[in-house]
Amino acid sequence: MDAQALGNEITRVVHTADELAERINQIAKEIDIDYADLDQPLLLVGVLKGAVMVMADLARAVSIPVHMDWMAVSSYGSGTKSSGVVRIIKDLDIDLIGRHVLIVEDILDTGLTLSWLIKNLKSRGPKSIEVMTMLRKPEAVKVEVPTKYLGFDIPNEFVVGFGLDYAEQYRNLDSVAVLSPHVYQG
Ligand code: 5GP
């Protein structure tokens, strides 16, 4: 789905499908170089559901062998605010002992969820653990998360598309766009 199909449900496109694809290809080249000498496939860990698009594109853009696994977590909080208290809804199938792990995320907002996730995965004995996030909101960050690969920094606005939803909608928008306030204010 492209942004035109949404009419006034979005106020503006922050990053087009082409920009997202180009940035993912650049990051994939960096990953190919950084992980060129592994004696095992790199393990990409995607965080459901938002990271589905970036995971699918990144995994296909790299030239090195990868394994892919998924986690689903839910963050306890009031309304839309993340609290950092996280519950695992779906855990990984693959054992992390001795693995090189790259967490693939859609968006880094406060950083609370991701910093919890890194701590959790580190305790499982991986050889290395790094983060790739497609988007980051620098103004919203509460906890610094070491991010090895970053797509784009964006303003502190609620965005949808490229995997990101509002009430499960808009994940299949091919760009990243700011949702019109009238959509969530009713
Ligand atoms: P945090 O970094 O605050 O712990 O939470 C990150 C999660 O909040 C993301 O994985 C995403 O699910 C959600 N989130 C944060 N900002 C946005 C946004 O602008 N749009 C959407 N759709 N979800 C967001």
Which tens digit of pLDDT belongs to each residue from 132-172? 999 999 998 899 999 999 999 999 999 999 999 999 999 99
Position 21 scores a pLDDT of: 98
Rounded distance from Cα 50 to ligand 1 centre (Å): 9
Strand order in the sheet with 10-15: 10-15, 176-179, 159-160
Give SS3 for 185.
Answer: helix
Place of tokens 């922050």: 14
118 close to ligand 1 (CB < 6 Angstrom): no
Tens digit of pLDDT at every position of the chain (186 positions): 999 898 898 999 999 999 999 999 999 999 999 999 999 999 999 999 999 999 999 999 999 999 999 999 987 655 555 666 789 999 999 999 999 999 999 999 999 999 999 999 999 999 999 999 999 999 988 999 999 999 999 999 999 999 999 999 999 999 999 999 898 887
Give SS3 for 144.
Answer: coil
Q: What is the pTM of this model?
A: 0.94
164 close to ligand 1 (CB < 6 Angstrom): yes
Ligand 1 atom nearest the C-alpha of 166 is 22
List the residue whose alpha carbon is closest to atom 9 of ligand 1. 107
- Which among 100, 42, 47, 104 is positioned nearest to 70, based on CA atoms? 47
75 close to ligand 1 (CB < 6 Angstrom): yes
Which tens digit of pLDDT belongs to each residue from 109-120? 999 999 999 999
Position 82 scores a pLDDT of: 63
Using CA atoms, how far apart are residues 16 and 120, in angstroms rounded to an integer? 34
Position 118 scores a pLDDT of: 96
Active centre residues (catalytic): 109
Maximum Cα interatomic distance, the chain, rounded to a whole number of Å: 53
Place of tokens 């509460």: 142
- Which among 103, 42, 96 is positioned nearest to 73, based on CA atoms? 103
175 close to ligand 1 (CB < 6 Angstrom): no
